[in-house]
Amino acid sequence: MKKIIAIVCTLSKTIDEFQNKPIYRTLEKLHKLYTDSEFDVRIVKDNKKGLSEVYNSYLIEEYKNDILVFMHDDLEINDLFLVEKLNESPYVVTGLAGSKTCDLSKNKLAWHLCCDRGDMMGEVSHKKDNFIWTSVFGPTSGRVLIIDGLFISVNVSELLKTEARFNEKFKFHHYDMAFCLNCNKHKVKVGVLPINVVHHGLGDSMMTQEWENSNIIFKEEYKL
């Protein structure tokens, strides 16, 4: 069984600040549930680099025997079988939700806007104002083209056999879509599995000017 290593980028400058993030409770629980040889974590504090650059820095020979999970710091994982599920995943890249198609002719290029409703797969729970609800996009297990970037698991040894990597032009937006398109280009299997998580956010970054700027760059990079 391969060790799972969680890679968490955070703007928090200190461990005390990081302890207030939802992911911290997850890491505490997983450390109690698994041994050090089964689960570990790398925290990138006070991160000013783009996520693609940070993630690529871990996709190296040093971690070839591991499974890396790139997680957002506003994510809480409540799955008691995380290590087992990711080790048994039939995919090189595993996520929680995504789509089987991606229409790059759309104006706004987010995974859930680039496909028909019937092409969506997976599920994610969300929490806001102490309320939790689950968005069920479709079947919770299966092959997809694009996944949401809040949780990206990578079987490193398999990925290193290819040239698929994160596109460092995309720092905090569209990095997930660009990575998945790159995986598809290099015939890397991407899929979703049912993993119990709660996302303490609504994915509303699309309302920002930074997202709009990234959308323009993405359309130019992957234009039809």
pLDDT at position 15 is 83
pLDDT in tens, 111-159: 999 999 999 999 999 988 888 999 999 999 999 999 999 999 999 999 9
pLDDT in tens, 73-87: 999 999 999 999 999
**End-to-end distance of the chain based on CA atoms, in angstroms?**
41
| Interval 25-33 mean pLDDT | 90
* % the chain with pLDDT above 90: 83
Cα Dmax for the chain: 48
Which whole-number Å values give the CA distances from 20 to 7, 69, 73, 166, 184, in the listed order? 17, 20, 10, 29, 37
Confidence of residue 203 (pLDDT cuts 50, 70, 90): low
Rounded Cα–Cα distance for residues 91 and 144 (Å): 10
What's CA 5's distance to the chain center, in Å? 13
Question: Beta strand pairing status for 93-95 and 190-192?
Answer: parallel
Rounded Cα–Cα distance for residues 150 and 80 (Å): 19
Rounded Cα–Cα distance for residues 222 and 185 (Å): 12
Domain-wise residue ranges, the chain:
3-221
pLDDT at position 130 is 84
Lowest mean pLDDT among 31-45, 141-155, 168-182, 201-215: 201-215
Confidence of residue 201 (pLDDT cuts 50, 70, 90): confident
pTM exceeds 0.85 for this model: yes
Domain covering 3-221, topology? Spore Coat Polysaccharide Biosynthesis Protein SpsA; Chain A (3.90.550)
